[in-house]
Every structure is written in structure tokens, then in C-alpha cells.
Structure 1
Amino acid sequence: MTEQRPQILERHEMSPAEVSALEDKFNDFNASRTGFHDAASIGFQLELHGRIVGGVAGFTWAGFCELRQVWIDEPFRRSGLGTELLNRVVAEARARDCSHIYLATYSFQAPEFYKKFGFEAVAVIDGRPPGHQDIIMRLSLAS
């Protein structure tokens, strides 16, 4: 019996469940290569009258935390909520024995906010997007 070759399907709008299934496979591969089997989601959201007005989402694994989404609706910015969210992330990351938190931001987003919080730029990609920078930032959780 010959094995069939999988077909490539164009799927630009994958469901959250499909993306999660890919993440699970990615986590399994990483764990098999490193011995770290502690991948877990991390997230906090801001709600007002049942509506999401902000939040953070990411994961922890192998002693670090990565934030993939950080967002607060415009009317709630500069109100201390971003700091509160990040303080919650820091506390949870420490509880999970993480040594650092990583995130990516663009130069037109919130790099100054993250710097004030204690993050440092560890990589900068000029021209991504054109006329701006993609900035990878890290926060040390050392006491």
C-alpha cells in the first residue's frame, strides 16, 4: 500500500481550534526535543458590561513567558490598567518559575510604556513595517 501525499489547502481564516491544534503539535515537538513539558497558556482580560475591552494573552514554557497579544481599547489607556495587567502577568509568570517575559511591539505601538515597566529592547528590525520598527523586548524577573 502506498502512502498518500497530503494536499495543501488555502486556509487564511483558520478557526481558533485549528490554530490551537497546530500549537499543540508545536508544543509536543518542542517538548520531545528539550524535555520541557510545561507549556501553558497565560492570559488576563478586561471586561466591561460583558464586552472585552482589553487583555493580554500568551504562554509560558521552559522558564520563560511570551506575550503574543497585549491590547487595551483607546478609552481605557493611560488609566493604569495596562500596568495592572502586566503586574498580573509578572505574578503568574513568577509563580510558574519563569525568569523572563518576552513580547514584540512596533515602534508606533507601546515600546515606551514597556520600557517604563522595565522591559528592554533585545532586537530591533528596521523597516518592519516600512517606516517603522519591530521591537522584541524582554523583562527580567530576577528579584
Structure 2
Amino acid sequence: MTAEEKPVPTVGGSDEALTERLEHELDAFNDAATGCAEHGELSVKVTDEDGQLIGGLTAWTWGGLCGIELLWVREDRRADGWGTKLLRAAEAEAMRRGCDRATVSSYTFQAPGFYQRHGYAEVGRVPGVPGGHEDVYLFKKLGGE
């Protein structure tokens, strides 16, 4: 690159290498800022007798906090309590890992009420979700249920 050439942003689709690099760099920055370097991934899943996915949950743990990223249950099994079972299993594992708090976000058309029924309290909302919906942020102190 010559002195006259200046860097310019490039826009693209999914970039796993970029995601990994950004996660690494931000983890290092966050670890230095907080003094906490304990990171973990967490997943819970349930399958039926045919090996088909009924539902699952993914989350992360860091510094005593569990961040629930995704929770989904197959439509034909949603009345069977699997969401509760997955959430409780994740919370139990998070506590086993030393977490005493959990956070999650859920669009208003998804399941904020589900999380509230499980002890999560709303701590904020972000408007502007398509269809006039909002992104609801919820928080819970673990071990209190």
C-alpha cells in the first residue's frame, strides 16, 4: 500500500475467520478490563427415540454470568415442558460452573413471558424489531428458584 492509498472497509456475508478473530481480540480486552478470563460454552439438547432434535439451548459462561444465546423447542413438542427442562438444565450447569447470574434477550413475539415465569426480570428493551416488536433483555440471580 502506498502513502496515497488508504484502507477502506469491505462488506461481505458471513466470515468465520473474522468472527473468531474478533471474539479472540474482544475476549482479551474484556479479560484485561475485568481480570476475569474464565470463558466457557454451554449447550443442552434433547432428542426423541428416532434421534431427531426436540429442542436445545446454547449459552456461554464468563465471570459468574451465564448468557443464554438460543433456546428452541420443536413446535409439536412445545406443550411438553421441554423449554423449562432445557432452561433448568442450563442454569444448573451454569451454577455448577460458578455462575450466580444469567441473562437472555427475547423478542416480544418470542418468549419473554416464559423467562419471566422462570424468575427472570426485564431490565431493558430495544425498539425497532420488524413488525413493531421489541428486543426484551432479562436478568436472573441464579439459585433463588
- Normalised by the length of structure 1, the TM-score is 0.84
- Residue correspondence of structure 1 range 43-58 to structure 2 within 5 A: 43-48=43-48, 49-58=50-59
- Structure 2: distance between partners of 1:127 and 1:9: 26
Give the 3-state SS of the residue equivalent to 1:97 in structure 2: coil
Deviations 1:52-97 (CA, angstroms, capped at 9, x unpaired): 3421112111111101111112111121111110111111111122
Aligned length: 141
Q: CA deviation at 1:5?
A: 7.3
Letter in 2 for 1:111: P
- Structure 2: distance between partners of 1:18 and 1:76: 37
- Structure 1: distance between partners of 2:44 and 2:6: 41
Residue 72 (structure 1) aligned with residue 73 (structure 2): yes
Identity across matched positions, percent: 31
* Alignment RMSD: 2.4
Letter in 1 for 2:95: R
Residue 42 (structure 1) aligned with residue 42 (structure 2): yes
Q: Which consecutive residues of structure 1, in runs of 5 or more, have no partner in the other structure? A: none
Letter in 1 for 2:62: W
- Structure 2: distance between partners of 1:125 and 1:39: 27
Give the 3-state SS of the residue equivalent to 2:12 in structure 1: coil
Q: Which consecutive residues of structure 2, in runs of 5 or more, have no partner in the other structure? A: none
Match of 1:25 in 2: 25
Q: CA deviation at 1:129?
A: 3.2
- Normalised by the length of structure 2, the TM-score is 0.83
Q: CA deviation at 1:21?
A: 4.0
Match of 1:115 in 2: 116
